Structure 1
Amino acid sequence: MKQLSTIFAVGVLAIFLSNQALASDAGHTSEAMEHAGQALAHGEDGHAKVLVEHAEKALQHAKEAEEAHAAAHKHMTEAIKHMEESIKHGKMGHADEGAKHMKEAIMHMRKSGH
């Protein structure tokens, strides 16, 4: 149930960010946020393998967003660090710790302004 509500919230956020993407070319950030939300939901539900899959996709998009948006570099760099930690913990089977790092990554992506 927790996963369903998280997926819904991420979907709404993705729609909001998609509108922003048209205006500010934030497509990679939007994709990173969507996959980060999926990683968080699966981590909270104890699905470490699926957390890693989505976290790796989020990381790829976040790195591309980092390059595209130099002004938001600081927060995107922090988001990437937390995504890498999320992946590391997910691979060790620590879904709860992976989810904590993904929450931090999402917070920093929001602060990046993209």
Structure 2
Amino acid sequence: MKQVSTTFAVGILALFLSSQALASDAGHTSETMEHAGQALAHGEDGHASELVKHAEKSLHHAKAAEKAHADAHKHMTEAIKHIEESIKHGKMGHADEGAKHMKEAMQHIRESAH
């Protein structure tokens, strides 16, 4: 049930960010957040392999966003560190710790979008 509500919330956020994409090319930021939310939901549900799958996609888009948004570089760099930690913990089967790092990453992603 957590996954459904988290996915719904992330979907709404992604919709909001995608509307900004037209004005500020925030496409990678939106994709980063969407996959980060899915990774968080799977981590909270104890699905380490799914956490890793979405965290890796989030990382890919976060790195692209980092290059595209020089002014938001600091926050996206921090987000990347937390996403990488989330992947590391997910691969070790520590879904709860992976979820904690994904929450931190999402906070930095949000701050980079301002």
Same fold per superposition (TM over 0.5): yes
Q: What residue identity is the alignment partner of 2:95? A: A
Equivalent residue letter for 1:79: A
State the distance in 2 between where 1:62 and 1:92 align: 22
SS of residue matched to 2:32: helix
Which one-letter code corresponds to 2:99 in the other structure?
A: A
2:66 matches 1:66: yes
Spell out, residue by residue over 1:17-46, the C-alpha distance to the aligned partner (whole angstroms, 9 max, x if none): 010111100100000000000000000000
- 2:37 corresponds to which residue? 37
- Quote the Cα distance in structure 2 between the aligned partners of 1:86 and 1:102: 6
Could you say what the CA RMSD is over the residues aligned between the two structures, in angstroms? 0.6
1:76: Cα distance to partner? 0.2
Give SS of 2:84's match.
helix
1:17 corresponds to: 17
* CA–CA distance in structure 2, aligned partners of residues 24 and 85 of structure 1: 28
Determine what percentage of the aligned residue pairs are the same residue. Answer: 82
Aligned partners of 1:22, 1:103: CA distance in 2, in Å? Answer: 26
Task: Name the counterpart of 1:5.
Answer: 5
Gaps of 5+ in 1: none
Stretches (4+) displaced over 6 A: none
Which residues of 2 match residues 49-88 of structure 1 at below 5 A?
Answer: 49-88=49-88
Aligned-pair CA distance for 1:87: 0.1
Rounded to whole Å, the distance in 2 between the matches of 1:81 and 1:15 is 25
Aligned position for 1:27? 27
Structure 2 counterpart of 1:69, which letter? Answer: H
Q: Distance in 2 between matches of 1:79 and 1:53?
A: 17
Aligned to 1:104, the other structure's residue is in SS state helix
**Structure 2 residue 111 is matched with structure 1 residue 101:** no
